[in-house]
Amino acid sequence: MYANSRDTIFALASAAGKSAVAVFRISGPGCSAALAALAPEARLPVRQAVVRILRHPGTREPIDRALITRFEAPSSFTGEDLVELSVTGGRAVVSATADALMLVPGLRSAEPGEFAWRAFVNGKIDLSEVEGLADLVDAETEAQRRQAQRIAGGALSRECEAIRALLIAAMATIEAQIDFSDVEDTGILTLDSVKRAGRAAMDRIDRALAGAKAAGRLREGFVVVIAGPPNVGKSTLINALAGRDVAITSPYAGTTRDLIEVFLDLRGYPVILVDTAGIRDAD
């Protein structure tokens, strides 16, 4: 899927653009070599943030004072040796740091999603947690954040594991009856206990599936269309809900001709309101 899972990769882990701080992440077996190239002679303890001067690997000119945090495998997000470089978030500093990293032998720019992929491959997170992490990055409202946090924190994984345990218990009961039917103690392993475990598993599966539709709607947001005859207050309503003038209001019919959309965070729920032209007979 990716070029080489044994490469040492780097990427800007914070948002693009000007900011106070920008964070670069490096992962792979070449982390020590990268640090030696950019921060020579610097003592960098594990899991401690230290301030060091980053230097250009060719000219040795200083780039910036960086906060460097080093993690050793497997105790990192990706399960590999990992380094985080926090530098000044100005565009020039970010560009110079990226250029310097590109000059380090054995380093390459990470492909989209490659850090999460390595964390998955190395058993640090499962697929549901990968999806939860992506949703957490995209979350725009409090309800979306809470849902994504639950999934990224392993809530779905734990539920699946509980269902799996119930089914294994039912299978074990059946196999015990088959293999040890002549042993007195197996009398407590009855068909009723198998049915109870199966029903419990089915109930949990049904609840999970029932919640999936609501979770999907929360992830995508609710689309609410305001429709009705001309001059009944549709545009006034959307302006009131948005708290600003997003649609033109007029005593004359036909002012709104195009769809007007506005995104709202209503008590943590994402809602897209759509104002429409009045419904009427036309020539």
DSSP codes, 234-259: HHHHHHHHHTS--S---SSTT---S-
Q: Is the pLDDT of residue 253 over 70?
A: no
pLDDT of residue 181: 64
Whole-angstrom CA distances from 141 to 10, 60, 130, 271 are 30, 45, 19, 10
Q: Is residue 15 part of a domain?
A: yes
Q: Which residue has the tokens 């999907």?
A: 216
The confidence score (pLDDT) of residue 80 equals 95
Average pLDDT, the chain: 87
Whether 7 shows a pLDDT value over 70: the answer reads yes
Q: What is the DSSP string of 129-154?
A: HHHHHHHHHH--SHHHHHHHHHHHTT
Same domain, 111 and 158: no
188 and 242 in a single domain? The answer is no
Claim to verify: residue 116 and residue 25 sit in the same structural domain: yes
**Of 154 and 252, the one with more pLDDT:** 154
Cβ(189)–Cβ(180) below 8 Å? no
Confidence of residue 21 (pLDDT cuts 50, 70, 90): very high
User: Minimal CA–CA distance to 52: which of 220, 224, 40, 61?
Assistant: 40
Within a domain: residue 44?
Answer: yes
**Rounded to an integer, what distance in angstroms lies between the CA atom of residue 240 and that of residue 255?**
17
The secondary structure of residue 210, as a DSSP letter, is H
The pLDDT value given to residue 136: 87
Query: What pLDDT was estimated at residue 3?
Result: 57
Domain co-membership, 42 together with 94: yes
What's the mean pLDDT in 240-246?
85
Contact 218, 143 (CB under 8 A): yes
From the number of C-beta atoms within 10 Å of its C-beta (0-12, 13-18, 19+), residue 213 rates as exposed
Domain residue limits at 42: 8-124
Q: What is the pLDDT of residue 219?
A: 84
Domain count, the chain: 3
Query: Which of 124, 154, 183 is the last residue in one of the domains?
Result: 124
Percent above pLDDT 70 for the chain? 91
Residues 49 and 104 in one domain: yes
The CATH number linked to 38 is 3.30.1360.120
Same domain, 14 and 107: yes
Whether residues 207 and 243 share a domain: the answer is no
- pLDDT 10s digits, 130-159: 888 888 888 888 888 888 888 888 888 899
What local confidence, expressed as pLDDT, does residue 95 receive?
95
Q: What is the pLDDT of residues 70-118, one digit of tens each?
A: 999 999 999 999 999 999 999 999 999 999 999 999 999 999 989 999 9
Q: What is the pLDDT of residues 109-135, one digit of tens each?
A: 999 989 999 999 999 998 888 888 888
Locate 76 and state its tokens. Answer: 């990192």
Domain contains 40: yes
